[in-house]
């Protein structure tokens, strides 16, 4: 019986994939499978994965005929997974030896739907511990109760899919698949859905995932049009949260987060190509217009002056243009 499925998408990461795969080898055991999804890599990654398929115990290699993005690759892995528990890793990150045994033991001990962990962010030789924003550790909690308060960083802001483990019953309930085709912010609708619809979760002080930042090929470092998928991702968060039974309580948190992400991208507008920067502004303005306006006004009143001013200017510009027409 497969106890744990580890889903690992790869795309053009030949420089980092060997480290990732070695770390998986240090976690191999008879009841763990590693589902390696090659998302149509065009560098030497397929050769690295072909060798892993032969040498890594528990490896299952799946190749995409065309590139679909991280969300689609993770979904491919989910569809193939046989484990009672599931987790994720990105193809340029790595895990500590024996980490998955500890993670699995914690999940079985607590018996909840999903478990969240801390992680280590690595930039060059620097290491920084990032904690899941939940104070209570090792206790089973209500996921819905961890969404609020709106003005603080909460569990839905810690959206890393690989920082946790998930029971198969969530997969069977339709809660683990990602929105197909999203190229960025794919974790956002996913984590919100988990916290709205799962029945139980917990956080443990377990470090073992090493998240590599500053990778030149990473989408977070590239200012191309794929970055704009964050708008589609957060539109989904807003739409689904507005339909929730607790929409009055939860929607301000979703709106505030969306506004903060828009303001963040606008502050880094210079990293985008001119045509993409222009599209970022127009799409952000349209997104602001789609938001519930009364609730949006309340949210902007609670944000800091720099971000709220930027967003209000964008809002006024569209309103003025409509009035002129």
The sign one gets for the Cα dihedral 304, 247, 161, 184 is: negative
How many H helices and E strands in the chain? 11, 11
Backbone angles phi, psi at 255, to 5 degrees: -65, -45
pLDDT at res. 94: 98
pTM: 0.93
98-106: long-range contacts, CB 8 A cutoff, minimum separation 24: 98/26, 98/27, 99/27, 99/206, 99/208, 99/209, 100/4, 100/6, 100/27, 100/32, 100/208, 101/27, 101/29, 102/206, 102/208, 103/165, 103/206, 103/208, 104/3, 104/4, 104/165, 106/165, 106/204, 106/206
Nearest to 100 by CA among 35, 31, 190, 150: 31
Q: How confident is the model at residue 317 (pLDDT cuts 50, 70, 90)?
A: confident
- Beta strand spans in the chain (E): 4-10, 32-38, 59-63, 85-88, 94-95, 114-117, 119-123, 126-130, 164-167, 201-204, 209-213
How far is the C-alpha of 153 from the C-alpha of 173, rounded, in Å? 27
215 is written with which tokens?
A: 């990778």
Give the distance, in angstroms, between the CA of residue 199 and the centroid of all CA atoms in the same chain. Answer: 20
How far is the C-alpha of 169 from the C-alpha of 200, rounded, in Å? 12
HSE value, Cβ hemisphere, 13 Å, CA-based, for 140: 12
Give the distance, in angstroms, between the CA of residue 216 and the centroid of all CA atoms in the same chain. Answer: 19
pLDDT at res. 166: 98
pLDDT in tens, 60-100: 999 999 999 999 999 999 999 999 999 999 999 999 999 99
pLDDT score of 49 more than 90: yes
Strand 4-10 to 85-88 pairing = parallel
Q: What is the DSSP string of 223-272?
A: -SGGGGHHHHHHHHHHHHHHTSTTHHHHHHHHHHHHHHHHHHHHHTGGGS
1 is written with which tokens?
A: 């019986």
Q: How confident is the model at residue 214 (pLDDT cuts 50, 70, 90)?
A: confident
137 is written with which tokens?
A: 């550790």
pLDDT score of 319 more than 70: no
Residue with tokens 């397929």: 46
Q: How does the average pLDDT of the chain come out, rounded?
A: 94
CB atoms within 10 A of CB 263: 19
Looking at per-residue pLDDT, the higher value among 222 and 323 belongs to: 222
How far is the C-alpha of 280 from the C-alpha of 253, rounded, in Å? 22
Q: pLDDT > 70: what percent of the chain?
A: 95
269 is written with which tokens?
A: 């507008």
Q: How confident is the model at residue 194 (pLDDT cuts 50, 70, 90)?
A: very high
Residue 102, judged by CB atoms within 10 A of its CB (0-12, 13-18, 19+), counts as: middle
Mean pLDDT along residues 160-164: 98
pLDDT score of 302 more than 50: yes
């Amino acid at each position: 019986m497969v106890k744990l499925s580890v889903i690992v998408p790869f795309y053009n990461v030949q420089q980092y994939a060997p480290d990732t795969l070695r770390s998986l080898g240090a976690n191999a055991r008879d009841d763990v499978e590693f589902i390696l999804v090659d998302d149509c890599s065009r560098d030497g990654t397929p050769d690295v994965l072909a060798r892993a398929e032969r040498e890594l115990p528990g490896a299952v290699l799946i190749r995409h005929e065309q590139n679909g993005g991280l969300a689609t690759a993770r979904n491919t892995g989910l569809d193939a997974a046989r484990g009672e528990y599931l987790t994720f890793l990105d193809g340029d990150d790595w895990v500590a030896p024996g980490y998955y045994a500890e993670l699995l033991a914690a999940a079985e001990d607590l018996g909840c739907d999903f478990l969240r962990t801390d992680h280590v962010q690595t930039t060059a030789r620097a290491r920084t511990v990032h904690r899941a924003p939940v104070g209570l550790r090792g206790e089973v909690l209500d996921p819905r109760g961890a969404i609020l308060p709106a003005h603080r960083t909460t569990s839905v802001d810690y959206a890393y899919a690989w920082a946790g483990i998930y029971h198969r019953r969530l997969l069977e309930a339709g809660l683990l698949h990602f929105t197909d085709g999203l190229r960025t912010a794919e974790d956002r609708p996913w984590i919100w859905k988990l916290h709205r619809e799962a029945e139980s979760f917990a956080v443990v002080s377990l470090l073992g995932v090493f998240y590599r930042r500053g990778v030149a090929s990473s989408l977070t470092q590239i200012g191309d049009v794929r970055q704009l998928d964050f708008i589609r991702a957060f539109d989904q968060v807003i739409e689904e949260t507005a339909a929730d039974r607790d929409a009055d309580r939860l929607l301000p948190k979703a709106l505030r987060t969306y506004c903060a992400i828009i303001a963040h991208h606008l502050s880094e507008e210079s990293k985008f190509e001119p045509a993409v920067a222009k599209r970022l502004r127009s799409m952000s303005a349209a997104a602001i217009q789609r938001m519930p306006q009364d609730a949006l006004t309340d949210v902007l009143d609670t944000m800091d002056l720099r971000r709220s001013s930027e967003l209000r200017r964008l809002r006024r510009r569209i309103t003025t243009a409509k009035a002129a027409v």
